[in-house]
């Protein structure tokens, strides 16, 4: 299996472009197993969050893999209830993960005291507790607020992104800051309409891959960072088996024509504000 690719952030750090997402993997035991299985298969990036309630499992899985800490990229996210006291929240996160630094720390949602939290992440960056920082699910005025008041511009933006919703305008907006993009719902929430688009079926046949592998390969060539979630070792193996072929410019252009603005998550800002009522356990 060919080695995976990396994307360079605006501070010169190189982030593995492909990883495992552990959203909705229940419990530390199951998470640890999934993380170890993924690392055994060559994954080097794990995406978690305080809200996922499985950071301890991520740390356990990394330890069980036998890999050196510096060979595994850990991304995690502060939840809005962490925003009032980010310094304490980051220290607790380090303890849960069983590490003395986090490779990438994001603000999870654009609600609560997010400016205070971002300042706290900038401080953690200077102290070496965090190696890179960014934001997730920010847009509009609240994104402008972060850009205007930050000393360190977001290195990474994590958002819903797939062939139906390619985030071209947002990418263009963040281009001056060198912000790189991570995709959640990279396969469109598994939507059969997207997965079975004729272009993917045609290319899957041409390259001897699955439709999902074609979509993931498109992400890689778009310079998106992706981490599809699965606990199935065979699916993990299939997902990462996308580095031994390359789509042509013409094929990429054809896929890009699918961009229709269709998204699968449509919570209003008022609905997002409700997130501050959820307090994940430490």
Task: Give the residue numbers annotated as catalytic, written as ranges.
Answer: 52
Place of tokens 């290319």: 203
Among 52, 7, 42, 4, smallest CA distance to 157 is for 7
Q: Using CA atoms, how far apart are residues 97 and 157, in angstroms rounded to an integer? A: 22
108 annotated ligand binder: yes
Q: Write the CA distances from 154 to 45, 57, 145, 195, 281, integer angstroms.
A: 19, 27, 12, 31, 27
Q: Using CA atoms, how far apart are residues 220 and 212, in angstroms rounded to an integer? A: 13
Contact 141, 111 (CB under 8 A): no
How far does the chain reach from its first CA to its final CA, in angstroms? Answer: 38
Assigned token pair, 173 = 């907006």
Burial zone of 265 (CB within 10 Å; 0-12 exposed, 13-18 middle, 19+ buried): exposed
Which residues are documented as binding site?
108
Which residues are documented as binding site for substrate?
108
């Amino acid at each position: 299996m060919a080695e995976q690719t990396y994307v360079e952030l605006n501070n010169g750090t190189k982030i593995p472009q492909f990883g495992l997402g552990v959203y909705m993997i229940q419990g530390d035991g199951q998470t640890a197993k999934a993380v170890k299985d993924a690392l055994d298969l060559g994954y080097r990036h794990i995406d978690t969050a305080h809200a996922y309630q499985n950071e301890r499992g991520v740390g356990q899985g990394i330890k069980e893999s036998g890999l050196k800490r510096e060979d595994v990229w850990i991304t995690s996210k502060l939840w809005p209830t962490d925003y009032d006291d980010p310094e304490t929240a980051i220290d607790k996160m380090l303890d849960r993960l069983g590490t003395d630094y986090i490779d990438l720390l994001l603000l999870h949602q654009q609600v609560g005291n997010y400016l205070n939290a971002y300042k706290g992440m900038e401080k953690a960056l200077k102290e070496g507790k965090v190696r890179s920082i960014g934001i997730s699910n920010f847009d509009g005025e609240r994104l402008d607020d972060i850009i205007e008041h930050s000393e360190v511009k977001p290195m990474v933006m994590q958002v819903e992104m797939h062939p139906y919703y390619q985030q071209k305008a947002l990418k263009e907006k963040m281009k001056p800051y060198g912000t790189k993009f991570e995709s959640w719902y990279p396969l469109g929430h598994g939507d059969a309409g997207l997965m079975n688009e004729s272009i993917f079926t045609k290319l899957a046949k041409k390259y001897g891959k699955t439709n999902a592998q074609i979509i993931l390969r498109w992400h890689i060539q778009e310079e998106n960072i992706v981490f599809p979630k699965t606990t199935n070792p065979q699916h993990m193996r299939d997902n990462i088996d996308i580095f031994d072929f390359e789509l042509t410019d013409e094929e990429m252009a054809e896929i890009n024509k699918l961009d229709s603005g269709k998204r699968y998550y449509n919570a209003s800002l008022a609905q997002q504000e409700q997130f501050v009522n959820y307090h994940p356990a430490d």
